[in-house]
């Protein structure tokens, strides 16, 4: 079940509660991805983000990294289903910063505004997927929920088309989107042509069998 936005009130922990939570969290982890509490009260840790992207992403080649975005040395491709990435972040990092770090880690040239981070959790035998606001702190949510990903996990998706602020994109980015849409349209058209060609072949074969003399 998808929920448009997180509607639960947030209860922030005191420094002592954070310390206790981190100790409890670290005693429960099974993958060695523990959290560390610093003297200034900021803590660091790891989150795993599952990529659920329907459209291809644009990745900079090794030659174009460090140059202006959207050069000719970029490749668009689809990520495999179920791809999961691990990020090391701090309790001060926001959702928007996590999205930017995730894209930067894999040299994705697409505008971060194209993407949204969701949390997926289990409640009352149902799975809820809630879109997180840009000001949320994913590591805090991870700490409160504990290390079990079946209780809480993070998912990266594209914004719905109606939610995208297209005026925030540059002309090359918009042109790249159009190229991707043209490719998707051509691919779907070819699939339909192949499907109907197969149907036509089977019908013609069946007709030849019916009309065969004898």
- Are 79 and 157 within one domain? yes
8 lies in some domain: no
- Are 104 and 200 within one domain? no
pLDDT digits (tens, 9 = 90+) for 182-212: 877 888 888 889 889 988 888 888 888 777 6
Q: What is the pLDDT of residue 4?
A: 47
Residue percentage of the chain with pLDDT more than 90: 31
Pairing mode, strands 74-77 and 84-90: unpaired
- Are 82 and 152 within one domain? yes
- Are 189 and 120 within one domain? no
- Are 38 and 126 within one domain? yes
5 lies in some domain: no
- Are 70 and 53 within one domain? yes
Residue 14, number of CB atoms within 10 A of its CB: 8
Domain boundary among 143, 161, 179: 161
Which backbone phi and psi does 59 adopt, to 5 degrees?
Answer: -115, 135
Q: What is the pLDDT of residue 56?
A: 76
Q: Which of 17-26, 87-96, 108-117, 145-154 has the lowest mean pLDDT?
A: 108-117
Total domains, the chain: 2
69 lies in some domain: yes
- Are 179 and 116 within one domain? no
Range of the domain at 200: 167-211
- Are 114 and 194 within one domain? no
pLDDT digits (tens, 9 = 90+) for 81-131: 778 889 999 999 999 999 999 888 878 888 888 889 999 887 777 888 888
H or E stretch covering 76: strand 74-77
85 lies in some domain: yes
7 lies in some domain: no
61 lies in some domain: yes
Q: What is the pLDDT of residue 69?
A: 41
Residue 87 pairs in a beta bridge with 47
In terms of average pLDDT, the best of 23-27, 72-76, 81-85, 202-206 is 23-27
Kindly report the CATH number assigned to the domain that includes residue 22: 3.10.20.90
- Are 76 and 23 within one domain? yes
Alpha helices per DSSP H over the chain: 15-28, 95-105, 138-145, 171-211
- Are 93 and 134 within one domain? yes
1 lies in some domain: no
- Are 156 and 174 within one domain? no
Domain boundary among 146, 161, 176: 161
- Per-residue DSSP letters for 4-59? SS--SPP-PPPHHHHHHHHHHHHHH-SSS---EE-TTS-EEEEEEEEE--SS-EEE
How many alpha carbons fall within 13 Å on the CB side of residue 90?
Answer: 8
Is-contact 59 177, C-beta < 8 A?
A: no
pLDDT band at residue 27, thresholds of 50, 70 and 90? very high
- Are 172 and 156 within one domain? no
Domain boundary among 161, 179, 202: 161
Distance CA 118, CA 4 (A): 10
Distance CA 192, CA 161 (A): 24
27 lies in some domain: yes
């Amino acid at each position: 079940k998808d929920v448009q936005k997180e509607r639960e009130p947030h209860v922030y922990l005191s420094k002592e509660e954070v310390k206790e939570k981190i100790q409890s969290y670290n005693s429960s982890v099974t993958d060695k991805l523990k959290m560390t509490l610093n003297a200034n009260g900021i803590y660091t840790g790891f989150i795993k983000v599952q990529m659920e992207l329907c459209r291809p992403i644009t990745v900079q080649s090794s030659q174009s990294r460090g140059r202006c975005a959207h050069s000719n040395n970029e490749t668009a491709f689809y990520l495999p289903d179920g791809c999961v990435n691990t990020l090391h972040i701090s309790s001060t990092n926001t959702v928007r910063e996590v999205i930017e770090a995730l894209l930067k880690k894999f040299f994705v040239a697409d505008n971060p505004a194209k993407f949204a981070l969701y949390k997926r959790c289990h409640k009352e035998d149902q799975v809820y997927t809630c879109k997180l606001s840009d000001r949320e702190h994913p590591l805090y949510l991870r700490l409160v929920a504990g290390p079990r990903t079946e209780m809480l996990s993070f998912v990266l998706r594209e914004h719905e088309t109606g939610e995208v602020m297209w005026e925030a994109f540059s002309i090359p980015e918009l042109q790249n989107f159009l190229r991707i849409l043209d490719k998707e349209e051509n691919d779907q058209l070819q699939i339909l042509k192949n499907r109907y060609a197969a149907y036509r072949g089977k019908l013609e074969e069946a007709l030849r069998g019916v009309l065969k003399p004898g």
